[in-house]
Structure 1
Amino acid sequence: MKKIFIFASIVSFFLILIYRDNINYKDKNDIVPKRSESTLVLNDFNGVTMTVESVVDTKISVLINNSADDPVLFGENYILEVKDGQKWFSLPVNDDIMFTSIAYELEKGSSFPWSTDFEILYSKLPDGHYRIIKGFNIKSQLETHEEYFVSAEFWIL
């Protein structure tokens, strides 16, 4: 009985691996991804800026600068938004995505080069006007749990 259970478990595991792409399959032609209008308040903290250094295929590199009086903390998480007309819209994120829980500390007067492959989180993006948004906290105010957001715009052509 124990051998049958082990054999059935192994077969089930391989079937899941083989057919996992068909589970919860969504035909991209049938479903328009839901997007919501952006409500984030951006660039409201003087001293922290972000500029796009490069966008190559699905990889984006930015430079985060801190000229504020306090060190700031940020992580790997980010948001991409697309501009449609005069409004910005948050892009839907692929299913089953998680971020590594890393905290970067950026001292006053320093810069940090950061990059990511956005295809993992958002798939390949069509041509358009986008912005990347990263949240950060002020190290001396961690007990307030207030998060600020900085953004940088870029184009995919």
Structure 2
Amino acid sequence: MTEQLEKAILIHQPRDNDKNIEFMFNPTELEFDHELILNEGKTARGDSGYPKISYGYRKPCILTIKNILFDGYEMGDSIGGYINKLTQTVYFANSGEAKNKRPPTYIFAWGNQRYFACFIQRLTYRLTRFLQNGTPIQAVANLTLVKVDNPEATGGNNSAIDRNNNTRW
């Protein structure tokens, strides 16, 4: 059985296929960063002399995707449209509920795997090849995605907590 190649994609939330960002080439690696914040006591010490620690909170998961390739060389096509679409991810949303309040949110997906809802915290890119007239035809980008609550989840106020479906437990 042969599997069909599926491209990684950032699916705009709420769904708007025109605002989805499909990768030209799949990532070679995904780097996840999970961190727990500790509240270290300034004076309280245990019997061994180490500071007593209380556990603070969990920071949102951060996913870093490096060396994302955009290549229009073979066809001589500009990759400017891809770069412009990526650049819009780090500006406040220009429509919907989030307009002028926060950046757009996405779900990072690859094949059947839906990783998580996120926003793009950081985008860096290098334009690496140009046509003779200066049109960029190759670029390499890096993305830092920060996990957010699922946009389809309800709540956000002091409503009752459903501990059975709560992914924090």
For this structure pair, what is the TM-score category when the shorter chain's length is used for normalisation? under 0.3
- The structure with the largest helix share of the pair is 1
RCO (CA 8 Å, sep 6+): is it higher in 1 or 2?
1
- The structure with the largest strand share of the pair is 2
Q: TM-score, normalised by structure 1?
A: 0.26
